Structure 1
Amino acid sequence: MIEQLGKLEVYLQELKQGYSIVQKGLTTIGDIKKGDFDLHSLFFNSLKDVNPSIKNWSKVADILAMQVQLVFGCQSSLQQAASSGNFSSTDLQYLDAVFGNLKTLTEKDIDELTSLLSDGDRQMTDDDRMARIDRLYKEVSDKYSFLRTFSSRVMTESNQRSQQRTNLQDLKKLIIP
């Protein structure tokens, strides 16, 4: 019996040692897991921060300048068309719809650019952020080009209508003295 108690005591000591080893192993695994999670967390949180060199990128300034010119260009072109007196109310409604849609699209682009350049809004790598800014630059450039072409055509049409009105008045003077 004493011999069995001695063996049980040895077995109990080995069991305590094994339990201690398992406990240390589980703690180590937990620490590794937490460290890995913290590293991933740190990485993904860093994707929310915008690199200052991207904020100061010349394309960003160009986009902002074009967006400002788009907003004011739409207002200016519509005011010029309205004040010329060469367009009917239906024509002016159409022009208002075109310029209004262009302004709405530009405001969406402004919101997107703001989101791209604000810390914490989007989780993107610098390359992804720059690629999206490149696409946005092209989209804004296309809208700006459309505004310039469309406004030019509207002014050309206004001048032609004005010239036609002058020609009609001159013709009436010739026919009816």
Structure 2
Amino acid sequence: MAAHISAASQGGPRFDEHLTNEGRRAAENGIWLCQQCSRLVDADDSAYDVADLIEWKTFAEAAAAVELRGYVVRKGRDFAGLEAKMPKLIEEMRTDLRSKPFTREIIALSKGASYNPGPIPLFCYRHEDHDELLAKLQICEHYGAIYDVRRNQVPRWNFSEDFAEYLLGM
């Protein structure tokens, strides 16, 4: 839905008395928002100032231009936020990577299970050590921290290099 960055009329959110009527109607004073965000932004105009909305618009337009050229633009995730959701698992991953900084592969197994990884080193996380381990690893995937490299029915992933660098403190 089309929304005004500076309100179209006096008393509206972020009204700028220095804008002309033409300036208030200009495309430069407009931003596309979903209906929910439009209401949210206008309901609390002190939380969303003109500079924020212009930054959002500028980024959205630049991202759209890049996507029109066939590229994918996605927002990076905050790995600290991921760590807050599952501190024990992330700390174990950090400890493992510090001990073997060039290992990237991980698997998830039960304690009774064994696995012969072959020549590729890997880290093993056990279901009994982490409640809802597979769900946590799925969230790690959504954050771009790991990616699926499953082979022969064994759940396995690789750390992304961005996540490995985060864990190693680089």
Same-fold call, TM > 0.5? no
Structure index of larger Rg:
1
Q: Normalising by the residue count of structure 2, what TM-score does the alignment of the two structures yield?
A: 0.19
The structure in which a higher percent of residues are strand is 2
Structure whose residues are more often helix by fraction: 1
Q: Report the TM-score when normalising by structure 1.
A: 0.19
